[in-house]
Chain A
Amino acid sequence: MIETNDLSKQFNNDFWAVDGVTLNVQPGKILALLGQNGAGKTTTVRMLTALLRPTRGWARVAGYDVTKNPKEIRSNVGVLTEQHGLYMRMTGEEYLDFFGNVYGLDPQARKARSDYLLQYFGIAEAARRRCGEYSKGMKQKLALARALMHDPSVLLLDEPTSAMDPESSRLVRDEIARLRSSQRTIIICTHNLAEAESLADSIAIIYRGKVLLNGTLDELKRIVLGPVEYEAKFARNFDAGKLDLPPGVTLAACSADCLRFRIEVPQAANPVLVHTLTSRNAPLVSFQEVPRKLEQVYLKTMADAQGVTYAA
């Protein structure tokens, strides 16, 4: 579990890299931290790994306080850093063995875990080659294997699929999802919004050190983009005239063969609305939610934060 309250970090006595971040990630959940470069994501992760001491506020990771129990935290956290951090003159096998040793695994456990991870990520054949000879994707996989080497209960992953080909990205995403199902607590820092959308249980958008938004994807969409929109398509032109809309439903857009509604509580309003349309003999072909992506939420939030107009 990861819990933070008013977590803040000031550098050089004048620059707040992270300012009042409050988060809560339960075991078996994934939080995606989104934000521009320099927004404070890495600094937040470094505080959660007990690498940086918070200037204000507190954080507990895997049940330990980041200022009081740094060693325990580091033993229980697996970190994938922004840069892969491989030793180029070591082989993949040696690299994993070294970190297994650092995390206190005995030689047999190291060998077994390293073989499994190398096999899982499809780099077993390159295990005896030096890391300097690996492709970008292979390096990223090996770095991820390192983070998983001691089977940590908390994972902090900075750009886990950057530089990976689509198949490898999928493999890593699957592995992250599998780790979630085994009750790991996971934070992912990413610029890949599709990845965040597909993996994260909750999303926090961070801007200049402050968390602007934090919640599930649906909550964020509702907060930023407003109520859900549904679109009714008709087989031919349909004159809606004066529709008697149920409470919590407003007409958002209207064309000859299509109507778009903004609906506060779809579960309650949709059956009534569909009934209203069909009772007016509307030649209804489809009635479905207008897809809204995380990208829209993110871009609008950023535009609002910067005081510029969001062009949808």
Chain B
Amino acid sequence: MRHNLSAIWMVARREFTDQFRDWRIVVPMLVLVTVFPFIADDTTRQAVNFMNRYGGSIILDHLIPFVVLVIGFFPLSFTLVVALESFVGEKERGTIEPLLSSPLDDLHLYLGKLLVGISTPLVFSYTSIGIYLLLVSRREVAFPSAYILALVLLLTFAHAVLMVSSAIVISVQATTIRSANLLASFVVVPVAFLLQGETFLIFWGNEDVLWFAIVGVTLLAALLVRLGLSHFRREYLLGREIDTLNFKVIGRTFRDRFKGQAESIFEWYRIELPLTLKQLRQPLMIVVGIAVIAGIASYLWVVANVPTYLDLSPERLTRFRTLIADNLVNLDEQLPAAPILFYSNARLIVISLLLGLVSFGTLGLALFIGNVAFWGGLLGGAQLVGYAPWLVFVTGLLPHGLFELPAFFLATAAMLKVGAQLVTPQPDKSLGEILLLSLADWCRIFVGIVLPLLVTAALIEIYVTPQLIKLAFSP
């Protein structure tokens, strides 16, 4: 342990020395840290005056935590410069090879650089926040509670880890600073959106809601650190000289994996697809477990809590039932055509994959949980209105759900598998190769099982389910 820490510190110390002797890093940082809090303080003063004159206490109450978040974020943007430099910069300057030829472990190199990438901007960031808080404490404005300040500082820390870990992943994968900078937009843009989301939470949400952001960002950051560690390989840093997209090799690798050894479609269904399905056993169990929990939890929550939010007097319930009965008469006309329904479901699954790809499965899983929770909530709502939830389930969900639910479960399990594969060390494969092979596996499930199931489900949902609902619930 002590040896590991000392090796990590050795790498980090050299990087610190290097950085603090580079005026291109030190000067802008110092300017940012010392000048920006004064600008922000003045802006706060003007905003406070404006709101005291014209009103807007909600904004006023949350203004300082918001400014703290922003001030903390600016120096963090330097994490990208530092982290992108860490591997690809060293490679470009030719300094990486002597370091990689040394007996230092991959873990020491990676964590040493991660430590520098996080700590330097974070120190500047906290200093900047400190200066701002000091300035603003002189003003006649409600100073934020220690609790919310702690939350914002934690969030700033999580941002730093998130940005550095993703920048290091880029730095390891890229072969030139130029390509790394281009890839950095994949960090900057999502983090900018994230910041907007957090701002929304600060202004309009309960401050406790910030915990969700902290947990979410930390989880994502941890997965990125894991991804970086599992794919940090000396060979990868030295094995390639230029970034080239070899479409021939990409196409061949994907096709070979998708097709497998099968000589015919029949053989593919008989031999290849079961192999992929076998690998999905564990993620499938997780997905089914989560679905059951989310569905039941949502159902119970709606039954227990909705009556406290909504007026569910007998008159109102009668109005609800009448409205539903009126809609049931024209149910056929209100439903979309089967191809549109099929397209919509297939699109949802593709969106879930895309979200899963950028979040190692977590956002895709969140979308799935949201869907299941919606259905659980609907059944709870049905009970509140006075319908038997089991009857709603059997008539309104089960007929097409027999096909649609397995399709969604399988697609989500396959998406989770893609995310898991990305963060699993596979020494003989590059990150691109792993992504390609995982996507080919996902496509096997999507094309071979999910799409046929969705077609069947869409046809049943349009032609069978409405009839059963009418039969069960028409007055």
**Interface residues in chain A, defined as those with a beta carbon under 8 Å from any beta carbon in chain B:** 11-14, 46, 49, 51-53, 71, 74-75, 77, 79, 81-90, 94, 98-99, 101-104, 143, 146
Q: Is the CB of A85 within 8 A of B97?
A: yes
Contacts of B94 in A (CB 8 A): 81-85
Is B18's beta carbon under 8 Å from chain A? yes
Chain A residues in 8 Å Cβ range of B21 = 89
Do A85 and B95 have beta carbons less than 8 Å apart?
Answer: yes
22 contacts between A and B (CB under 8 A): A11-B240, A14-B246, A46-B238, A51-B100, A52-B239, A53-B427, A74-B103, A79-B97, A81-B97, A83-B94, A85-B94, A85-B95, A85-B97, A85-B98, A86-B95, A88-B93, A89-B18, A98-B10, A98-B14, A102-B103, A103-B103, A146-B98
The answer to whether A99 and B102 touch across the interface, beta carbons within 8 angstroms, is yes
Question: Does more than half of chain A's interface fall in helix, strand or loop, or is it mixed?
Answer: loop
Question: What is the bound-complex CA distance between A11 and B105, given in angstroms?
Answer: 24
Check if B235 is an interface residue, CB within 8 A of chain A. Answer: yes
Known: A51-B238, A79-B98. 8 other contacts (CB 8 A): A12-B246, A51-B97, A85-B93, A86-B95, A87-B18, A89-B22, A143-B98, A146-B98
Check B45 for interface membership: any CB of A closer than 8 A: no
Residue pairs across A and B with CB atoms within 8 Å: the count is: 77
Q: Is the CB of A52 within 8 A of B235?
A: yes
Binding site for A on B (CB under 8 A): 10, 14, 17-18, 21-22, 93-105, 234-235, 238-240, 246, 249, 253, 427
Main secondary structure of the interface of B (DSSP, over half): helix
Cβ–Cβ contact A71 & B103, under 8 A: yes
Cα distance, A74 to B104, chains bound together (Å): 9
Which of B18, B101, B103 gathers most chain A CB within 10 Å? B101
Query: Cβ of A51 and Cβ of B98 under 8 Å apart?
Result: no
**Which of the residues A14, A52, A143 comes within 8 Å of B238, measured between beta carbons?**
A52
Question: Please, which residues of chain A bring their CB within 8 A of the CB of B253?
Answer: 13
User: Would B98 and A81 count as touching, CB distance under 8 A?
Assistant: yes
Q: How far is the CB of B101 from chain A (nearest CB, A)?
A: 4
Cβ-closest 9 pairs across A and B: A83-B94, A89-B21, A85-B98, A79-B101, A81-B97, A75-B103, A74-B103, A102-B102, A85-B95
**A13 contacts across to B, CB distance below 8 A:** 249, 253
Q: How far is the CB of A302 from chain B (nearest CB, A)?
A: 23
Q: Which residues of B contact A94 (CB under 8 A)?
A: 17
Cβ-closest chain A residue relative to B248: A14
Q: Which of chain A's residues have a CB closer than 8 A to the CB of B103?
A: 71, 74-75, 102-104
A79 to B240, CA, bound (A): 20
Question: A residues within 8 A CB of B10?
Answer: 98, 101-102
